[in-house]
Every structure is written in structure tokens, then in C-alpha cells.
Amino acid sequence: MNNSNKSVVVAGGGGFIGGHLVGDLIKQGYSSIKVIDIKPLKEWYQVFPEVRNVVADLKSLENTRSAVEGVDEVYNLAADMGGMGFIENNKALCMLSSLINTHLLMSSQEAKVGRYFYASSACVYSEDKQLSVDNPGLKESDAYPAMPEDGYGWEKLFSERMCRHFLEDYGITTRVARYHNVYGPDGTWEGGREKAPAAICRKVISAKISGSQEIEIWGDGEQTRSFMYIDDCIKGSQMLLHSEVEDPINIGSSQMVTINQLVTIVEEIAGIKIKRNYNLDAPKGVRGRSSDNSLIEELFDWSPSISLELGMEKTYKWIYDQITK
């Protein structure tokens, strides 16, 4: 694909997924890359001097109009979000992210943007489909009848519908990915917004360095999840944007594990055995969640392939370096 004449905006590009996406777009030779994030530049996970880096609040319609002017493609990764501890205690803040997508869509329609990508989440899926640890995998159709996760999940589902209706009413080529627990290096690993893979790496590393040999686990550790390594996420997202698939689609690993199994993987990487203290009052999320990849395999002959063991080893090494600095 010849990208030498294409211009792209990455909204939320100072974040974890956005930073990796920008790095990949640079390698592909996009002629113009604009990266926008609300955080101060020093707080961005990755900063690339060869692109245009802008600090701005994209909840503002004025800022979104400026952002997409003369642009061919928009990746909307911008949102207030984090791990379960964050989203369960910041529902209103999560809902306000709907302003970002709404204003970016309005501005993209005015500017005649060629293609628009929206990063949704597995949190849109109906809670009654996630009551058992033996989750068979969430199909795209399981989002309806709607009963998503309160706050964050509702915002994502509403924003998906906005993309759908801007496609139908205004002809904007919108594409929607439902991410399932993306993890990897150069992301959040402390402070309350980190997700389970990074949190467990940090806890095990700290236990090893301090000699305490014990960690806290939220819940009983038997809740199930699937986790997707960042490289698979970036590949799947770009593949979807440039496709003719108009409906939301899962981009996530089908390799489901319990949180206890995830801890065991990290123990093996660290070369230690630790005592597990279970906090049954901590935020736990749904009981079981995994990605059914039947549709993406059928349409693209592809699904995320980097194993959890390999991805966690890379993530562990990066977080270890951050802690020992």
C-alpha cells in the first residue's frame, strides 16, 4: 500500500495503543501524521519528533475541527479509561468520552475525511453473557439486547451507534473494533489505570525485589479473560480500517485464562513462587470474558496470534526495567 501521499490523525496518540500505532504509521511512510492527546507532552508514553504533536482537549468541537482539516484518515483512540478499578469508580468521566467521538465524527463529516476508525471495547457486551468463568467467547451479536458495563461500556456502545449512523446518513467510511484487553510494553503499569497483565507484572516484580514473596489479587482469581498483545492490536486495527467491513468486529485473543493462571505465567517468567492474598472486596468486573474470533477469521483469514506467554515475557521485561530504573 502506497502511503506516501496520505495524511492521518491519531486521536489519543499519547496513550499506550496510540503510541504504538504512530510508530507503525511512521514505518509505513505516511506523508503527514498529526498526533493529539489531552495529556502534557511529558506524560505521553511515546513521543516521535518527526510527526506533529499537539496537546488539545478533543471534547471541544473547535479542537476536533482543527484536528481533522485536510486529513485522509482518522484513528479515534482517545478516551478516559483504565483498568477495572478506574472504570468502576469513574463512570461519569468515562461517559464524557462520548463528546470526543461525537465531535470528531461531526468534524470528519464536514472535512470529508476518507476513513474513520473507532476503538470500542469488549465492555459493550451484555453482562448476562459473562456470568460464568466458562465463557465460550463473545460473538459480535452478543452486544444486543444491550446490557453493557455501566458507564464505560454504555459510552462505547453509544459511540458505536454514532459511527453506524454517520456511515448511513453521511457516507463517512467508519470502522469499529471491539478491543479485548490490550497489553504490552510502553503502557500504564502503575497509578490505578493499569490493567491486569501490567498490574500483575508490577506486583510480582516488586515482591521479588523486596523479598516479600506475596501479592494481592483482586477477587478469587478464578475470573477468566483473554489478553491481546499490542502488535496484534495494531495490525488488526489497520487491516479493519482499510477493509470493506462495516459492522463492529472483535479484535482480541481467543486464548482464555483465569487470573490465577496469568499469575502463574508471570511467576514462571520471574522464576519465583509467591503467596497469593485474595481481596474479595476489590473491583472484579465480569466473571468470564473471551473473544470469539469466528467472524474475523472468516472475513480476513486472520486473528491475533502472539501467545500470552510470549507477550507477557516482553511486557514483564519492560516493566522490570521501569521499576529498576
pLDDT of res. 87: 82
pTM summary value: 0.95
Does residue 300 lie within any of the structural domains? no
Does residue 26 lie within any of the structural domains? yes
pLDDT of res. 83: 74
Does residue 197 lie within any of the structural domains? yes
Does residue 301 lie within any of the structural domains? no
Largest CA distance in the chain: 60
Does residue 13 lie within any of the structural domains? yes
Q: Are residues 166 and 189 in the same domain?
A: no
Its domain, for residue 217, covers: 184-225+256-294+306-324
CA angle 64, 167, 23 (to 5 degrees): 50
Q: 152, 183, 229, 320: which one is catalytic?
A: 152
DSSP 97: T
Q: Are residues 55 and 177 in the same domain?
A: yes
How many C-alpha atoms does 321 have within 13 Å on its Cβ side? 8
Q: How far apart are CA 149 and CA 92, in angstroms?
A: 13
Helix and strand totals (H; E) in the chain: 11, 13
pLDDT of res. 193: 85
| 152 tagged catalytic | yes
User: How many other C-beta atoms can be found within 10 angstroms of the C-beta atom of residue 285?
Assistant: 20
What is the CATH classification number for the domain harbouring 189?
Answer: 3.90.25.10
pLDDT of res. 1: 57
Taking only the tens place, the pLDDT of each residue in 49-107 is 999 999 999 999 999 999 999 999 999 999 987 777 888 889 999 999 999 999 999 99
Q: Are residues 165 and 243 in the same domain?
A: yes
Q: Are residues 90 and 134 in the same domain?
A: yes
Q: Are residues 234 and 141 in the same domain?
A: yes
Q: Say how many domains are in the chain.
A: 2
Helices 196-210 and 308-324: crossing angle in degrees, nearest 10, is 50
Of 163, 18, 157, 9, the residue nearest 94 (C-alpha): 157
CA angle 201, 126, 122 (to 5 degrees): 35
**Cα dihedral 84, 90, 92, 94 sign:** negative
Q: Are residues 112 and 197 in the same domain?
A: no
Q: Are residues 127 and 272 in the same domain?
A: no
Burial of 56 (0-12, 13-18, 19+ CB in 10 A): middle
Q: Are residues 168 and 21 in the same domain?
A: yes
Q: Are residues 241 and 205 in the same domain?
A: no
Q: Which helix (H) or strand (E) holds 162?
A: helix 152-170
- Tell me which amino acid residue 78 is: A
Q: Are residues 190 and 246 in the same domain?
A: no
Residue ranges of the chain whose pLDDT lies below 50: none
How many C-alpha atoms does 24 have within 13 Å on its Cβ side? 19
Of 238, 94, 127, the residue nearest 177 (C-alpha): 238
pLDDT of res. 31: 83
Reduced to 3 states (helix: H, G, I; strand: E, B; else coil), residue 10 is strand
Q: Are residues 60 and 81 in the same domain?
A: yes
The gap between the terminal CA atoms of the chain, to the nearest Å, is 40
pLDDT of res. 99: 98
What is the CATH classification number for the domain harbouring 101?
Answer: 3.40.50.720
Does residue 38 lie within any of the structural domains? yes
* Buried/exposed 107-139: b ≥16 CB within 10 Å, e otherwise: bbbebebbbbbbbbbbbbbbeebbeebebebbe
Q: Are residues 171 and 189 in the same domain?
A: no
Does residue 146 lie within any of the structural domains? yes
Does residue 1 lie within any of the structural domains? no
For the chain, the residue count is 325
pLDDT of res. 192: 85
